[in-house]
A and B are shown apart, each in its own frame.
Chain A
Amino acid sequence: MGLKQIELTVNDFSHPFLVESDETLLFTLRNRLYLTGTKEGCNQGTCGSCTVLLDGKPVLSCMTPTLRCVEKKVITIEGISSGENLHPVQKYLVKNGGLQCGFCTPGVVMTAVPFLEENPDASRREIKEGLSGNLCRCTGYKKIIDALENAAAEMRS
């Protein structure tokens, strides 16, 4: 065990710091980088709230060892939309009421963005499928799915 010096590239900036050898990316992001947009809902790989991108691929940061991420690129909710504009996924979640308490929302965004990029023509059923690892207790998912359908349309155009 013990500490290890690493560099971790998060949202296009490379941070040098010490991590515990066995810590998860979720812990590193929240506690060492103070990037608290990534949420801890279960710490068991069951709720999807901690989803981030690792080299463009969505992963559950609570299941990902930080030391696996060295030399890879991590994108968190804080880095998903650059500059002034929201990503269409974010925009329509806001507009269509696809969030209530908002706690699962960062995970929904980080799942939906790569999903819709990979599946631009996803049907409503496929969107439901793609989102089936993100537990939401407020919305009943309907308005989330509505928002993602609209976001997909905008992303296509």
Chain B
Amino acid sequence: MSGSIGKPTPFIDAVQKVTGQAMYADDYRMPNMLYVSFFRSTESHAKISKLDISEAESYPGVCAVAIGKDIPISFGVLPISPDENAIAVEKVRYKGEIVAAVAAETIKAAREAVEKIKVVYEPIKAFFDPKDSLEVCAPEEQIHSHTKNGKNIHKTAELRFNEPEKELEIAKNKQSGFFKFAGVTHAFTEPHSTLAIWNRDDTLTVISATQVPFYLHKNISKVLGIPLHKIQVKKPTLGGGFGGKSDPFPHEIITAYLAKKTKRPVKCTFSREEVFITHHGRHPTELSMSVSCDDDGIITALDTDIIIDGGAYGSFGVVTSYYNGVLLQGPYKINKFGFRTRRTYTNKHQCGAMRGHGAVNPRYAVEVLLDMMAQSLNMDPCDLRNKNFLPENTLTVGEFRITSNGVRECLEAVRRKSDWDNRYGKLPFGRGLGVACGFFISGSALPIIWNRYPQTVVHAKLDFDGRIVMFSGASDIGQGSDTLLVQIAAEELGISMEYVQVETADTKITPVDLGSYSSRVTFMVGNAAKTATTKVREEMAKAISKEKDVTAENLIFNNCRIHTKDKSIDLSWEEGVEIALAGRGAFVESGYYISPKLGGDFKGSGAGLSPAYSFGAFISEVDVNPNTGAVIVTKVWGAHDCGKALNPLSVEGQIEGSIHMGLGQAISEEMRYHNGQQINANFFDYRIPSSLDTPDMDITIIESNDAEGPYGAKEAGEGPIHPVLPSIGNAIYDAVGIRMMELPITPEKVLSKMKENA
């Protein structure tokens, strides 16, 4: 193969990005464009008894003002919980919720007009603590009228296999713990931004910073009543997502509405504070968990009860609720297994999907409890884990089909590289090593919106210019999926990457892809791209074989040439293209990906199903200052089984980025609230690690070559975050002998725990 599959490959848009040429949503502008500013709630939970927009409407420069009843149809990323309105209707459910929107000639005029809006609220009892939301309340205090039994519980997800509670009752070796996790947010560097253009053929074009153009397209159609065939959603270059741009958002729908209403282009771009308010990040979580083992350290049961604080609306919450539990079925074999997750509504910013969706917090608990177990059994924590790994090609207790599995190799690699056996438990007081493993889906096998279409379709076009254009709905959000499409085409056709270009994430031009979430793109889009370009090659070979009287199978596509082994036929790529297009002209080949039928037939069996799973093992080294409680993570060894690294540069980048983000959640990041209002909605006080806070990293890529993945590949974008946090928590134990059960592990928590221990 002459392509770049498996070789470190700079992103195809990297030069554009380093020169400032790449166009992000806010970089687009249109003639005659209006700007949007929002009027937001200053109440956490209240009835809107009066809303007066008259002064704003007549303010100089204002073209339109929108309020809730203008767009009353509710929506949500999951069709099962469409509980949100683009603009609050009748009542507000969190501080910062949009109550009105102004479109004006300049952003200044829009902001000034917003200040002219008057509102009177009738406050309702607000819920900030998820435990309060579990209780029965007065009907008028319910955050949403659809919740059952007079409580503010959005979803209860529960699955049990083989009565784990019975085993745990009698188990001799049992570890239990209560864990608490603060909410964290994506903190991508590009604020949300949307430009909506109402075209005079009565179609709508939306250019938006989104990971999910398709879901945005569907929801705009639903809420604004615009037929699907009159909408185009385009994702420009995206400044990071991590799940934070994977919902259709109110501001996107409002901007589209205002464009439709004014028949003009309309743009909205968030301030950093608005980005924080919009949130949709990781749920604050409280959970208790128990794990039992036999005397040999073989895990016998796991049971957990989880409360996640969803905030005011549903978002991905139903999925999150399941993922909190089901994704604990690996990487260890656990036959007696159960969980219950309750997602509550509270009057705070809504939570949703964030890198490692749903499983990051309970993973921390599992790995810490296993560390405690190893200690109580006097076993090395690596050895204990080794004894319990799932094998390859097996089913988990909840009938997840495990195919390739490189977790053993992962653990072995970090164990060796960190010199674990000589250093664990032997470092001076204050320094320590900790280990943890992880496991994640490589794309959700089931779509969010049920349909009979494939997960993704990719078109590859060949025309007179000899160029392959890959048409894919896949959203490059910085992870490099556009580059992946080019690499695959180049690989399959034996041409250099410069012959391949992409058209992506445009719902009018590109075949639909469900979006960049659940780590699905490499596996699903990769397979579809491979099929499409294989078909182009076959078509070309067919034409050449006819013209040159040679068997198609004997033609080799390599180094921009098409030849037989003996070079009796040896064509340049351009000559091959001429022959292939003769008599038919440009052609397009299509590839698609459909997940195989997977899973059991019990209720809830669909959650967490994936055609493949990634695995990983990480070891962290920390330095804990026993006087101040400050934790410095000095080095992280990370090994991740991504099946096959199609682009090692980007796989490493994903693992390194996961270490950064996991470190942030572990020791410094936290959504902090005061009466439902976030007090650190800025980068001063929401502390994402800087270059000086991020540790040295040693990355190992393990390639287990998945039979169904494209060239053997699986995901690498989310799995690597799971082991990071517990490896740090466990290292702190090794350093100073305390078990941190609450995240973030800030200095004051370390210090007070050390005192407790002394």
Contacts and interface: CB of A to CB of B under 8 A. Distances in A.
A78 B10 contact: no
14 contacts: A36-B26, A37-B20, A41-B272, A49-B189, A99-B11, A101-B237, A103-B189, A129-B691, A135-B688, A140-B659, A141-B656, A142-B697, A144-B691, A145-B691
B683 interface: yes
B18 A137 contact: no
A138 B692 CA distance: 15
Given A37-B19, A103-B24, A138-B240, A93 B14 contact: yes
Nearest to B242: A137
Contact of B17 (A35, A78, A99, A132): A99
B190 to A, nearest CB: 4
Contact of B271 (A38, A43, A90, A102): A43
A81 B21 CA distance: 13
A66 interface: no
A120 to B, nearest CB: 19
B90 interface: no
B243 to A, nearest CB: 12
A16 B26 CA distance: 24
A140 B19 contact: no
Nearest to A49: B189
Interface residues of A, number: 51
A97 B650 contact: yes
Given A136-B189, A140-B694, A142-B697, A38 B682 contact: no
A76 B20 CA distance: 9
Given A41-B190, A49-B189, A140 B20 contact: no
A102 B653 contact: no
A94 B657 contact: no
Contacts of A144: 691
Contacts of B269: 40
A86 interface: yes
Contacts of A109: 18
Interface stretch (B306-314, B432-440, B477-485, B700-708): B477-485
A72 interface: no
B652 interface: yes
Contacts of A81: 19
Contacts of B20: 35-38, 76-78, 106
Contacts of B660: 137, 139-141
A37 B480 CA distance: 20
B673 to A, nearest CB: 20
A90 B682 CA distance: 29
Nearest to A125: B692
Given A47-B683, A105-B18, A139 B189 contact: no
B10 A97 contact: yes
A78 B23 CA distance: 13
Nearest to B655: A140
A138 B21 CA distance: 19
B562 interface: no
A78 B189 contact: no
A21 interface: no
Contact of B18 (A43, A90, A133): A90
Contacts of B653: 97, 100, 138-140, 143
B27 A105 contact: no
A47 B187 CA distance: 11
For the complex of A and B, the 9 pairs showing the least CB-CB separation, nearest first, are A37-B20, A101-B478, A102-B17, A103-B239, A140-B656, A77-B20, A46-B683, A140-B660, A36-B27
Nearest to A106: B20
B15 A86 contact: yes
Given A42-B682, A46-B684, A101 B189 contact: yes
B88 interface: no
A131 interface: yes
A86 B19 contact: yes
B417 interface: no
A24 interface: no
Nearest to B480: A100
Contacts of B627: none
Interface of A: 34-44, 46-47, 49, 76-78, 81, 86, 90, 93-97, 99-106, 109, 128-129, 131-145
Contacts of B650: 97, 100
Nearest to A35: B20
B691 A128 contact: yes
A39 B692 CA distance: 22
Interface in B442-494: 477-480
Given A36-B20, A101-B239, A142-B697, A135 B189 contact: yes
A102 B652 CA distance: 16
Given A93-B18, A135-B189, A144-B691, A102 B237 contact: yes
Nearest to B658: A140
Interface string B5-48: 00010110111111111111011010000000000000000000
A41 B271 contact: no
Given A42-B683, A97-B650, A103-B240, A86 B688 contact: no
A143 to B, nearest CB: 6
Contact of B187 (A94, A137, A145): A137
- Residue from the set A43, A109, A136 with the largest chain B CB neighbour count within 10 Å: A136
A105 B18 CA distance: 6
A129 B692 contact: yes
Given A101-B238, A102-B239, A47 B18 contact: no
A43 B240 CA distance: 18
A138 B18 contact: no
A29 to B, nearest CB: 10
A90 B18 CA distance: 6
B239 A141 contact: no
Contacts of B477: 101
A104 B17 CA distance: 9
A128 B693 CA distance: 9
Given A137-B242, A141-B694, A99 B18 contact: yes
Contacts of B697: 140, 142
